[in-house]
Chain A
Amino acid sequence: MSPILTISGLHKSFGKVEVLKGIDLTMQQGDVVSLIGSSGSGKTTLLRCVNLLEDFEQGSIELAGQSIGYKQDGGQRRRLSEREIARQRAMTGMAFQQFNLFPHMTAIRNVMLGLIKTKKMPKDEARAIAEKWLERVGMGQRRDHYPGQLSGGQQQRVAIARAIAMNPQIMLFDEVTSALDPELVAEVLAVVRDLANEGMTMLLVTHEMRFARDVSSKVVFMHQGRIHEEGTPEQIFGAPKTERLQGFLANSEF
């Protein structure tokens, strides 16, 4: 089976600071990969490169057989047009740390926007899909509420529904529970866990080590812009090989 996501030789700098120093990562359909590591290790940047919220200078990302963001043109590396990039972004779904729901739209309008504008669906069809996904994340009752009327956990569930309703090839989760009060973390993780169990391909950045251990098929430990160690959850959490990872895990909460 050909991989759904192939990242090879990815380099990314912010000005003079190189934050990704050559990342290689492959994911099969249905894989759940967790990126762990201390802040500044580049894990969020890696995630944001996959849906082109960040440009990258070297290397390539291939998603479902398409080269993401750039093309080789007569030996030249060219950025794709904005329209093309917008289309590719819709192939990935992203959930953010700060939810980023559109505050002037109700929950269901948040979910419908991409379906109508990007996928050019008729309103009724978009509404039906949005209702289905809001139901799935347990927000069916609140679909006509505005984000300001919802708790953080509820907002994040709507945000996840918004991303997944687009039927992406892969879901990206960027520390989706970091901004939540402790008692709201569980409801969001339950939604993510459900999606994982259903075979959604997911790449997630998380600080919830216990959760990463439970849901992941592979765990990737990043350090200073490189993949320092990777393996199954059992290997990473049960028998960490490098000193750096042992130190990181010792300082992490479980």
Chain B
Amino acid sequence: MNFSLFLTELWNARLSLLSGLGDTILISVASVILGSVLGVFVGLAMTYGAKWLRFVVRLYIDFLRGTPVFVLILACFYILSVVGLDLTAFQAGVLALTLFCSSHVGEIVRGALSAIPQGQTEAAKSVGLTFGQTFVYVLLPQALRQILPTWVNTATEIVKASTLLSIIGVVELLLATQQVISRTYLSLEFYLFAGFVYFLLNFVIEQAGRAVERRISIP
């Protein structure tokens, strides 16, 4: 390994790598936020919805969780354009990851809500809280604490899955790295470097998650 050559090439490629990293972060953040919002509704529908709605949402969750993310990304990119919905590769990728994320978050939310004892709802009702108040002040705060560790895990999964967007031509960190490699032939060095950056990203996410967890833990 030629370290000084690598450093020189790294410096030369810094802008395209940074732009790739920026895209990776943008894709991940957008997918996690959109996917989580959608996922909360999915979880709510699974827990409180009418029977037909639960059935439909169950299908949605099982279908998305049973499909490889890779296939999901290809489907969003190629199939949607066939039906006339022209998304850019970036948009299609974010859509795929959002759907993937929502199915996971939906399942997590459902599990957390159903793990809260029925007595909590009854106690809230007995002091006169409406369903909405019960959800906001009693159920949600408990569910969120339960959700957090798994949710952080889902976020890191999304960061990793964002690499798959390179296949449909989104120049995120992995594809940016590959482009640099094709120019410099320093494959080992740059792949190691990219791996390290991904590790760093997820490490930060997990540490942040743990810090929040400690702050909100119930004695």
Contact = CB atoms under 8 A, between A and B. Distances in A.
Decide whether A and B are members of one complex. yes
Interface of A: 51-53, 82-83, 86-87, 89-90, 92-94, 96, 98, 100-104, 113-114, 117-119, 145-146, 148-149, 159, 162-163, 166
A93 B219 CA distance: 27
Interface in B123-160: 123-131, 133, 137-138, 141-142, 145
Contacts, number: 77
18 contacts: A82-B131, A87-B128, A89-B128, A90-B127, A90-B128, A94-B126, A96-B122, A100-B123, A101-B123, A102-B138, A114-B127, A117-B137, A118-B127, A118-B129, A119-B128, A148-B219, A159-B123, A163-B127
A104 B122 CA distance: 16
A103 to B, nearest CB: 6
Contact of B218 (A52, A53, A92, A148): A148
A96 B123 contact: yes
A151 to B, nearest CB: 14
A86 B218 contact: no
Interface of B: 117, 119-120, 122-131, 133, 137-138, 141-142, 145, 218-219
Nearest to B127: A114
Given A93-B126, A148-B218, A159-B123, 4 more contacts: A82-B130, A100-B117, A100-B122, A145-B219
B219 A149 contact: yes
A159 B119 CA distance: 12
Looking at A94, A101, A117, the one whose CB has the most chain B CB atoms below 10 A away is A117
Contacts of B120: 100, 102
